[in-house]
Amino acid sequence: MLAIIGGSGLTQLSNLDISRREVIRTPYGEPSGAVTFGRIGCQDVVFLARHGHGHTIPPHLVNYRANIWALARGAGAEGIVSVASVGGIRSDLGPGVLVAPDQIIDYTWGRHTTYHEGPDVPVVHIDFTEPYDGALRRRLLDAAALAGETIVDGAVYATTQGPRLETAAEINRLEQDGAHIVGMTGMPEACLARELEVPYAAICVVANWGAGRGDSAHAISFAAIEEVLQQSLGKARRVIEHLCGA
Ligand code: HPA
């Protein structure tokens, strides 16, 4: 079973041959919504819309613990692929580009980043040197090659708190820190998956230039983001199809 978490613009997987929907209860509260079970090609898939079906849950209010638990423990997923839109910072990562990041810098705050907290719960530290699963990343890159889609292999994903976009100065700072793309949901998803020992990797779709860059020099156009996502999420879908052997 492979889990797909769909981000902004991907509230359903049109290529999923749906068998059922299920509301999964978790010890950590409600996930973002019901999960959809089905098949793509020869692969069993479970899909969850990160921001809810009506896109009503902002990044800082997503119940990441419930989502990852529901997929890994509730649905029994053996891998989780996140599809997420991001802003581009590095000069070759402009709108429409697909990226499989290999590193993360976490700027979020106030989110539950561990399953191991609470009275009498022993502290657990995980190794997070490589935040994404190497084998699942490889499978994503191979699937992209098979699909004939170009995907950039490796980037540093900065996770900001949102839901507002960044200032131009913040994007400059992120670049100085070594970040190449910026999104709002990569953490704590990745570290929670690691805690549950489920391989996790991401396909990021660059929706816009980061604030102050390129055509976002003076403002970020939401209409332009919509247009880019419409076109580029199709590429991400094709990569997922090939990942599933369709
Ligand atoms: N910043 C943060 N998250 C994003 C952006 C951005 O510019 N674009 C899409 N998600």
Burial of 167 (0-12, 13-18, 19+ CB in 10 A): exposed
CATH of the domain at 10: 3.40.50.1580
Q: Are strands 79-88 and 2-6 parallel, antiparallel or unpaired?
A: parallel
Shortest-distance atom of ligand 1 to CA 220: 7
Shortest-distance atom of ligand 1 to CA 165: 1
- What does the pLDDT look like over 204-223, one tens digit per residue? 999 999 999 999 999 999 99
- What does the pLDDT look like over 158-174, one tens digit per residue? 999 999 999 999 999 99
Confidence at residue 166, expressed as pLDDT on a 0 to 100 scale: 98
- What does the pLDDT look like over 176-205, one tens digit per residue? 999 999 999 999 999 999 999 999 999 999
143, 148, 165: which is closest to 89 by C-alpha? 165
Instruction: Tell me which residue range forms the domain holding 222.
Output: 2-243
C-alpha 30/C-alpha 40 separation (Å) is: 26
Mutate to test the pocket of ligand 1, among 184, 189, 204, 205 (most ligand atoms within 8 A of CB): 184
Is residue 207 lining ligand 1, measured as CB closer than 6 Å?
A: yes
List the beta bridge partners of residue 49.
6
Find the 162 Cα to ligand 1 centroid distance in Å.
Answer: 9
Q: What's the domain count of the chain?
A: 1
Is residue 68 lining ligand 1, measured as CB closer than 6 Å?
A: no
C-alpha 2/C-alpha 61 separation (Å) is: 25
- Tell me, yes or no, if the pTM score tops 0.85: yes
Burial of 127 (0-12, 13-18, 19+ CB in 10 A): exposed
Residue 24 token pair = 């999964």
- What does the pLDDT look like over 128-143, one tens digit per residue? 999 999 999 999 999 9
